[in-house]
Amino acid sequence: MIDRLTEQLAQTEARFLGLEASLSDPSVASDPPKYAAAMKEYRRLTPVMEKLRALRQAESNAAEAVRLLDETSDPELRELASAELKSARAETESLSRELTVLLLPHDPNDEKNVLVEIRAGAGGEEAALFAADLYRMYCMYAAANGFRTAMMSQTPTELGGFRAVVFRVEGEGAYSRLRFESGVHRVQRVPSTESQGRIQTSTATVAVLPEAEEIEVEINPADLVFESCKSSGAGGQHINKTESAVRLTHKPTGIVVECQEERSQFKNKDKALQMLRTILYDRARRERDEQVAADRRGQVGTGDRSEKIRTYNFPQNRVTDHRIGLTLHSLDSFINGRIEAMLDALATAETAKRLAAEAEETEN
């Protein structure tokens, strides 16, 4: 193993053993927030320790094979030892690469829940219908992978589309899986509203925001303008007749959020505050990232909402991610939530870029 990896593993092992000791400490066990934080980090480091133990075993096997080659002249034993040495060295190299990936800096947002905001872009009603298709796609992906979704805010159209929709995806690792979905999504298809059979290009923007906890963003009540109003939408029996909808304006930033999903004004206000906290947290996070150019250099894309990231071509049944140049000829299943292959490819591309950047930094 290279010296840098050895040093990182030593530090990680020391931290892991410290966490192990603290988890059995009565003072930590009696403090739920402290215990939960320690257990979360312990679980994150456990795969590293498992790989480290396997690496040490492989190194031990290689050393034993070398010793046997030095001490014996028996042809059969030497052949067995040579095969064992080759296998152990290959396993050592493989485990070292895996550990290098596991030891890459951890994004503290990776395990968080997310708020996903989808807005219709260019294309009128067809863009709104595409926004609804993307919402359905993410909900189907979430359901198939053990995540839970909850509607936060929506502005529907009469034809079943969305001018805008905000929903929550809850579950461990939600942000790490969906983080690269932010950007402009483009669709090419014959709209249901098209009578001449012409293909139309429309867009929708997606923003994936790591959900902020109350302790992470402090909001001064004096900075808020609270308004209540009647719910609006395409109509139907679920539209409230009372003023239960909520609109919050954050005076320092001018950010406005609305929520009308609950029949209770109190619940709508609580959801609106959660959306506002998340937007403010995301703004602060982006400002911080812009100050650290090296962090941006290692990402698959900027994550900016103005960046065109993907095209959904229905006539050719293909979906193309422009950041990594990957095309899948399975749009029919992709739009029904089977997006794992694309998400995996994006994560792999980001890891490769981060490893290359780290290797360059080490050389310099």
User: Can you give the pLDDT at residue 139?
Assistant: 97
Mean pLDDT of 11-24: 92
Q: Are residues 357 and 298 in contact, defined by beta-carbon separation less than 8 angstroms?
A: yes
pLDDT beyond 90 at 137: yes
Phi–psi pair at 94, nearest 5 degrees: -65, -45
pLDDT beyond 80 at 133: yes
User: Can you give the pLDDT at residue 237?
Assistant: 45
Measured distance CA(354)–CA(303) in Å, rounded: 16
User: Can you give the pLDDT at residue 243?
Assistant: 63
Mean pLDDT of 4-14: 85
Q: 3-102 with 113-364: one CATH topology?
A: no
User: What residues does each domain of the chain span?
Assistant: 3-102, 113-364
Dump pLDDT digits (tens) for 171-210. 988 999 999 999 999 999 988 766 677 889 999 999 999 8
pLDDT beyond 80 at 118: yes
What class does CATH assign to 3-102? mainly alpha
Dump pLDDT digits (tens) for 200-238. 999 999 999 988 775 567 788 888 888 887 665 544 444
pLDDT beyond 70 at 295: no
Which range among 42-56, 193-207, 284-298 shows the weakest confidence by mean pLDDT?
284-298
Measured distance CA(95)–CA(57) in Å, rounded: 11
pLDDT beyond 50 at 107: yes
Among 130-139, 253-262, 295-304, top mean pLDDT goes to 130-139
In the chain, the amino acid numbered 53 is R
Q: How many helices (H) and strands (E) does the chain have?
A: 10, 11
Measured distance CA(15)–CA(28) in Å, rounded: 16
User: Can you give the pLDDT at residue 293?
Assistant: 44
Angle (nearest 5°) at CA 299 between 95 and 105: 45
User: Can you give the pLDDT at residue 357?
Assistant: 75
The CATH code belonging to domain 113-364 is 3.30.70.1660
pLDDT beyond 70 at 290: no
| Element housing 11 (H / E) | helix 3-23
User: Strand 308-313 to strand 183-189: parallel, antiparallel, or no bridges (unpaired)?
Assistant: parallel
User: Which of residues 300 and 262 earns the better pLDDT score?
Assistant: 262
